[in-house]
Structure formats: C-alpha cells, structure tokens
Amino acid sequence: MKYHVGQHYQEDTFRILDFYLLFPFLLKNVRMTKSSRSSFAELRLRKLSEPYQKIPDSRRLFRQLESVQSEAYRHLAAANVINLDSYKNGQIFLGDQEISIALTREIQSANEKESAAVKFILEQLAIIPLYGPDGLKARTGLMEFRYDPS
C-alpha cells in the first residue's frame, strides 16, 4: 500500500483513520458516501469478521484510545517521524526521519493482512472532510460534529 507522502491530516482525521486500521470490521458502521458505497461492496468489507467476543460501543472505545494515540503521536513527533511543528498545530505530517527497514516491513506485513480495508481507509475515508453533517466525524459517529466550524 502506498502512503500519501507529503499528505497532511488533521489530528482528529488521523485518529479516526487509525481507529479503523485497528478495528477494520467496524467499517460496516460508517455511513458511506455515494462514491464509497460501491468500493465498500466491491472490497467485501462487510464480511470482515470480528475477532473479539464482545467489543464495547465504538464511540466509547474511540475515546478510550485517545490517550494511547496522543502518546504515540508525541513519541513520533519527538523522533521526527511526524513533523513536530505541524503536530503542535493539530496536523499530522510526515517528518524528515526515515522509517527503519524493519518497521517498514512490519507495516507492509500488517497492511497486507487487511489490504482491502487499508485500501478503503486510505482511498475513501481519508478524503472525506472532517467537519459538517456529511463529514468524517458525523459519518463515523465517533466524534461530536454539531458545533464544528462550517
């Protein structure tokens, strides 16, 4: 899977994308855009099995992950894997630090296991604007959107 080098994401967008990379079987709960419905069906993502017996409410799980994600982003920023100045401004942007070959292999291996979900997340979810009633926060139901800037 090709990463969007040079692409930057708002931290909340990145958190949502990260959540679905961790729990791809929950993609079936996202209110899809017209353009993403056919891709979702074509990739057979509805059939992803849930590897856990019982998972708590998605929104609650998302909130519980926030501190772990924030800590991970701080470490990535400190190591310059993501740009520190951008991170301080609520953006996730790749930094100058090269990612090790071993880590790159691990990422590629994990992405291959869920390649359809990764492809969908990077090509469909990542392009949805974050804010508004048709934004990523509203479509996923993971974050409040009613008081977002227009």
Q: What is the DSSP letter of 28?
A: G
Would you say 98 and 15 are in contact if contact means Cβ atoms under 8 Å apart? no
Split at pLDDT 50, 70, 90, the class of 150 is low
Looking at the structure of the chain, the number of domains it has is: 1
**Is the residue at 145 inside a domain?**
no
pLDDT tens readout for residues 78-93: 988 889 898 899 889 8
CA gap 137, 117 in Å, rounded: 19
Q: Which stretch of DSSP H or E encloses residue 9?
A: strand 8-10
Split at pLDDT 50, 70, 90, the class of 2 is very low
Question: Which residues have CB under 8 Å from 82's CB, separation 6+?
Answer: 73, 76, 92, 93, 94, 95
Split at pLDDT 50, 70, 90, the class of 4 is very low
In DSSP terms, which residues pair with 93 in a beta bridge? Answer: 8
Check: pTM over 0.85? Answer yes or no: no
Q: What is the DSSP string of 87-142?
A: HHTTEEEB-SPPPPHHHHHHHHHHHHHTHHHHHHHHHTGGGS-SSSTTSHHHHH-S
Q: What pLDDT sits at residue 1?
A: 36
Structural domain of residue 117, as residue ranges?
8-140
Residue 55 burial (CB count, 10 A): 13
Q: What pLDDT sits at residue 112?
A: 80
